[in-house]
Amino acid sequence: MKIRALWLALLAGLSFTPAQADAETTVLVTGANRGIGLEYARQLSAKGYKVIGTARAPERAKDLAAVADRVEQLDVADPASVAALAERLDGVAIDILINNAGIFDRRDVTIDQVDFDVMAQTFAVNTMGPLRVTQALMPNLRAGERKVVIGMSSGLGSIEKSTGRWYAYRSSKTALNSVN
The span from the first CA to the last CA of the chain, in angstroms, equals 11
Per-10-residue mean pLDDT, the chain, length 180: 36 46 86 96 96 98 98 98 98 97 89 94 96 98 96 73 81 85
User: Are 122 and 169 within 8 A, CB to CB?
Assistant: yes
What pLDDT shows up at residue 95? 97
Instruction: Provide the pLDDT for residue 2.
Output: 35
Say what the pTM is.
Answer: 0.86
Structural contact between residues 177 and 5, judged by C-beta atoms closer than 8 angstroms:
yes
pLDDT for residue 161? 73
Q: Measured between alpha carbons, how far is 114 from 130 in angstroms, rounded to an integer? A: 23
